[in-house]
Amino acid sequence: MAKPSIFSSDYEKQQRKRKQRRNISIFLLICVIFLVLVYLGFKTNLKNVKVPKLSASSNVSSKTPSKKSGGTIVKDSKKTSSKNSKAQDESLKVNLPDGKQVSLVCGENNNQRIVKSVDLSGLNGEYNISPSSKNVVIYEKDTQNMFFIDASGVVQDITYKAYTSGSGTTFNKDSILSSNPGYIWGVSPKFVDDNTIVYISQLPWFDNRQSKYVWKFSITDKSYTNSNLTGNDIKMNSLTDKGIEIVIDGNTTYMKADGTTSN
């Protein structure tokens, strides 16, 4: 469009229209630029929005197995811990050679199986656990039988079933107790160490004397030995650093596994 002449009568009118068209063009251009910027910004934001979604999805995907695995491990760990706890408090039923049954309450210490306690299940007797807690000796009061049991439940009958005198005469335990129920053949067994058990007996005498003796039993070689510690009243107490405490006629002495004694 030609530029209007300043001498034209419509100059001012045309000039105003020209300014309006120019302003409209500028406005439209600004709008276009604004819309382009908005579009580009929206597109950029849209991309940014998608990236976190993908990242979140990826994180969920990677975390889910990890969480599931971790949860399983924790559960298994708890179950294992629970099972170990139960295993540590496991009740092991043991049948004795004479048909009676007892229960060992077993556990673990430094990955080694130990005996914590014994349920005699109504058996008229007593028990003593070795210093390492790996073994137990059970004494039946009615029969004066003694049994050695390890933490796995393996039983050995360690009863001194027959005594042979120096003259060669053999005395059978059951026969002696049958004829003399009050006779003390072998009672109150206690561990001195993991290989040695001491107990009280009236052997080697079968007459009316009241003397009693401290006998030793070796688990390794299955031998019975009279320690010659004697008295009318003998009590076996607990194990100490000095040895097992034995009170004989009111006097306290301590015996080691090798048979040596001290006061």
Identify which has the larger pLDDT, 98 or 80.
98
Report helix, strand or coil for 114. strand
pLDDT band at residue 58 using 50, 70 and 90 as cut-offs: very low
> 131, 157, 183: which is the final residue of a domain?
157
* Number of domains observed in the structure of the chain: 2
d(CA 182, CA 141): 11
| Mean pLDDT to the nearest integer, 83-98 | 76
pLDDT of res. 25: 82
Same domain, 77 and 149: yes
* Higher pLDDT pick, 203 / 47: 203
Query: What is residue 46's predicted lDDT score, i.e. its pLDDT?
Result: 54
Domain that holds residue 134: 69-157
58 within some domain: no
Could you give the 3-state DSSP secondary structure of residue 156?
strand
Q: Which of 104, 134, 157 is the last residue of a domain?
A: 157
pLDDT confidence of 23, banded at 50, 70, 90?
A: confident
How would you classify the pairing of strands 155-157 and 162-164? unpaired
**pLDDT class of 18 with cuts at 50, 70, 90:** confident
Taking all residues of the chain, what is their mean pLDDT, rounded to a whole number? 82
Q: Is residue 59 part of a domain?
A: no
